[in-house]
Amino acid sequence: MNNIQRNHWAYAVFVVPAMLIYVTFYLVPLFQSLQYSLTQWNGINDPVFVGLDNFAKVLTDDSFWISFNNNMYFVLFSVFIQVPFIILISIIVSSVRRFLDFYKLTVFMPSILSTASIGVIWQFIYAPEAGLLNQLLRTIGLEHWTRIWLGDEATAMLAVLLTNSWQWTGFYIVLVLAAIFAIPKEMLEAGEMDGATGWKKAWLLTIPLIRPVIVVTLLLSITGAMKALDIILIMTKGGPFGSSEVMASYMYKQAYTLSDFGYANAIAVIISLFTALLALVFHYINVKTREATE
């Protein structure tokens, strides 16, 4: 038994090649990012060490703070609008018998499609003339509501957020549904006997019982909001006038449009640190409120 489960050679064959690729293409870039963030570098010449200059620059860079606020907007939209909607729809879906599988499969479908296709489809929906949204508004007589959704500073970010929700809401609904169906029947029946039915049952029984999956959903939406890059690049490229820029797309622009790789890497480091910070704050709130309810 021991010779089989402690076979140095076999262990090395199993672990070394895979870890070599992972370390080279995941961990090495991570440390390089830290290193480059302390330099001034145009991507071609040798990087010049400048200490924390790039991080100091962030403090006074208004465009960066617009992108930072958009990330916050993204997080708040996910936490206070998208997640409650997900829970509401999941509870409703869990109460039906007919078409249950149909609902589940349909809402899930957008999450497996490419962001590229979805971005292009929604660009058409938001298009000024032929776009479906404006056509719909004209048909129902709300002509004055029509606008160039993605070309208007006031609506571009919201339009992208709604597209992102369209893509991911169903994924989370399926996640929450799985948790609802995993609640032991006896628990719900006991609750019903005590008079908890309908919305009362949902609020007092179901939601507290699926708390762990709600926590996961919130955490995934928060980190998802911090990660957002492809959908912005595809739909608005951060425009108009930087109004839909997020930190990741601003970083992208600094590197590939402005060739300021040092500054771009500093933003990358800030994204990582800030995501970790958000996750920590979230964890803290989660522990505190759990203690309070127990």
Partner 1 sequence: MMFKKKVKQLAPHLFLWPYILIVLYPLLFVITASMKNNTEIFNDPWGLPAVFNMQNYRDALTNSYIGHYFANSLYVGVVATVSTLLLSTAIAYAVTRMKYPVISKLVYGMLLLSLLIPPASLLIPLYTLVKDFGLYNTPLALIFPYIAFGIPLTVFVLAAFLKSIPNELEEAGIIDGLNTFGILWRIIIPLTLPTLVTVFILNFINNWNEFVMANLFLSNEKLRTLPVAIVAFADKFNMNYGAMTAAITISIIPVILIFALLQRRIIEGVTAGSVKG
Map the footprint of partner 1 across residues 50-109, applying CB under 8 A: 89, 92-93, 95-96, 98-99, 103-109
- 10 vs 187, beta carbon nearer partner 1: 10
Q: Does 40 bind partner 1 (CB under 8 A)?
A: no
Beta carbon of residue 148, minimum distance to partner 1 (angstroms, whole number): 14
Give 98-161 as a DSSP string. Answer: TTHHHHHHHHHGGGGS-HHHHHHHHHHHT-SSS-HHHHHHHHTT-GGG---GGG-TTTHHHHHH
> Token pair 């369209």 is at which residue?
166
Nearest to 83 by CA among 217, 211, 207: 217
Q: Does 33 bind partner 1 (CB under 8 A)?
A: yes
Q: Which of 49, 124, 199, 203 binds partner 1 (CB under 8 A)?
A: 124
Q: How many CB atoms lie within 10 A of CB 93?
A: 18
Q: Which of 122, 126, 149, 168 binds partner 1 (CB under 8 A)?
A: 122
If DSSP codes are grouped into helix, strand and coil, which group holds residue 184? coil
Q: Does 284 bind partner 1 (CB under 8 A)?
A: no
Q: Which of 76, 113, 154, 285 binds partner 1 (CB under 8 A)?
A: 113
40: enclosing H helix or E strand: strand 39-40
- 93 vs 157, beta carbon nearer partner 1: 93
The answer to whether 245 touches 73, Cβ cutoff 8 Å, is no
Number of chain positions touching partner 1 (CB under 8 A)? 92
Interface of this chain with partner 1, residues 232 to 271, rule: CB under 8 A: 233-234, 248, 251-252, 255-256, 261, 264-265, 268-269, 271
Angstrom distances, CA of residue 184 to CA of 143, 164, 209: 51, 33, 10
Q: Which of 42, 63, 146, 272 binds partner 1 (CB under 8 A)?
A: 272
Beta carbon of residue 294, minimum distance to partner 1 (angstroms, whole number): 22
CA distance 73 to 269: 20
